[in-house]
Structure 1
Amino acid sequence: MGANAELTEEVRQRARIVWDYQRLDQEPRGCDVAVVLGSHDLGVATTAADLYRRGFFPRMVISGANSPSTLARFPRGEAVHYREHVLGRGVPDAAILMETRATNTGENLRHSRALLADAGITVRSVMLVSKPYMERRAHATTRRVWPEVDTVSASARTGFDEYLGSVGDDRLVMDTMVGDLQRVMEYPARGFAVPQEVPDRVREAYAYLVAAGYDGHLITPDPPVP
């Protein structure tokens, strides 16, 4: 799928529209805990470590098993590699809880919530640490599966073009970002997230990028009921 997609300047313009929409650009504030959402991007762990050292939360749950896009990068699991990274950036082991089963965002949050409850940790506020273009979807998913907590979204403070360079795989970023927007639009009807307004210009950018071949992370329609 999408083998001939080319990252032209027109594609970049549409991609920046999607990027800007999916970022919430919230200022970090003190929270009871951070939930660090595993992915192909080790920069998420870097951001979590930096926010911990700045005193925004006393502990973090690092969540993630593997997906098809992370298995080669993190063969021992997203959470395992993230943990090693934050330890190397000064986060003490005592401040880390590990959740190694989740394979999607809903599971990240449900399993993290259960892990914290089992540990007897009261949680009223959560910092969601994710890829920059995942902020909106993480927020919408949390509002569905963990609605009683106050949340703030956090990610690397970077622009779209700089982010592409930091990951080093333009196609992976583009496919995943387009797929995340599709989930923002479609998951509320499936009961996985709360609905959010999606402006026409964002929908138009999404349609353009899919037509341009950035379809490698799209979900398929639900199968018909027999």
Structure 2
Amino acid sequence: MAKQLHALAQKVWDYHKLDHTLIKSDCIFVLCSNDVRVAEYAAQLYLDGYAPFIVFSGGVGELTLGMFKGSEAEHFAQIAADLGVPESKILVEPQSTNTGENIQFTQALLENERLDPQHFILVQKPFMERRTYATFMRQWPNKQCIVTSPAISFDEYPNDVISYSDLINVMLGDLQRIRVYPDFEYAIEQSIPDDVWLAFQSLVDIGFTEHLLSDG
């Protein structure tokens, strides 16, 4: 059972990852969360010269309530600064509570700063690459983007913040949203292979339902 469970979860994980090739861009756009490894990775991208500035976007979500002193974006920005990113090259959007708001509020922030980047590097958790891409392309279709995440495998990802079970639950919630959100014009449509959806259904049948939409 454990081997089968792992194979099903690995299939869903692999689908979520897009494996885009990094290229130099106009802006590193970090969608913040409870995973500070994303902040560390984004800081390294800046230090490696992939873009001239970073935007950290994220308020306080369900998973980060009480976790950080301030918002997700403020906490991530401090990590980046501590790692050597100049504060003058960091912008912070501390109000958004979901992926759509990450994009909409960052649009407003950049407009207010009179910045108009055309190509973005979106930085996310590995299992949120695909939904981030689909949401960005719907919300900001006149821009270009690639999505990247820390080089962490499915087996390496769980830690003291997110358990193996939590990870599967969140991955399934994201996969369900990839399927249904285009109907609400929240995201562009993404093809889901039959074997990936069968893996989703099998894991739901096992009991991984905590992050599914209530009407799903």
Q: TM-score, normalised by structure 1?
A: 0.91
Q: What is residue 23 of structure 2 aligned with on the other side?
A: 29
Question: What is the SS of the residue equivalent to 1:162?
Answer: coil
Matches of 1:220 and 1:165 in 2, distance apart?
Answer: 27
Distance (Å, rounded) in 2 between the aligned partners of 1:139 and 1:35: 12
Structure 1 outlier segments of 4+, above 6 Å:
none
Q: CA deviation at 1:72?
A: 3.4
- Please tell me the residue identity of whatever aligns with 1:97: L
The equivalent of 1:129 in structure 2 is 123
Correspondence for 1:3: none
Partner of 1:4 in structure 2? none
Give the aligned partner of residue 70 of structure 1: 64
Of the structure 1 ranges 79-88 and 68-77, higher mean CA displacement relative to structure 2 is found in 68-77
Cα deviation 1:50-83 (Å, max 9, x = unaligned): 1111100111110001221111322522111111
Q: Is 1:58 equivalent to 2:52 in the alignment?
A: yes
Structure 2 residue corresponding to 1:185, chosen from 173, 179, 192: 179
Q: Report 1:72-111 matches (<5 A).
A: 72-111=66-105
Matched, 1:11 2:5: yes
TM-fit CA distance, 1:169: 2.1
Distance in 1 between the 2:214 and 2:185 partners?
16
Q: Distance in 1 between matches of 2:10 and 2:54?
A: 30
Q: 1:217 aligns with which of 208, 211, 215?
A: 211
What is the TM-score of this pair, normalised by structure 2? 0.95
Deviations 1:96-145 (A, max 9, x none): 10101100000000111111111011211011100001110000001100
Query: Which residue of structure 1 lines up, in the alignment, with residue 34 of structure 2?
Result: 40
Q: Which structure 2 residue ranges, 5 or more long, are not aligned?
A: none
Aligned length, in residue pairs: 216
In 2, the alpha carbon distance for the partners of 1:123 and 1:32 equals: 5
The gaps in structure 1 that reach 5 residues or longer are 1-6
Which position in structure 2 is the counterpart of 1:117?
A: 111
How far residue 167 of structure 1 moved from its aligned partner, in angstroms, is 5.0
Query: SS in structure 2 opposite 1:161?
Result: coil
Amino acid at match of 1:82: F
CA RMSD of aligned residues (A): 1.6
- Residues 38 and 211 of structure 1, relative CA distance in 2, 3 Å threshold: same
Matched, 1:151 2:145: yes
Q: Distance in 2 between matches of 1:217 and 1:53?
A: 35
For residues 162 and 214 of structure 2, the distance between their equivalents in structure 1, rounded to whole angstroms, comes to 27
CA distance in 1, matches of 2:177, 2:17: 15
Between the aligned partners of 1:68 and 1:177, the Cα distance in structure 2 is 16
Task: Give the whole-Å Cα distance in 2 for the aligned partners of 1:140 and 1:131.
Answer: 15
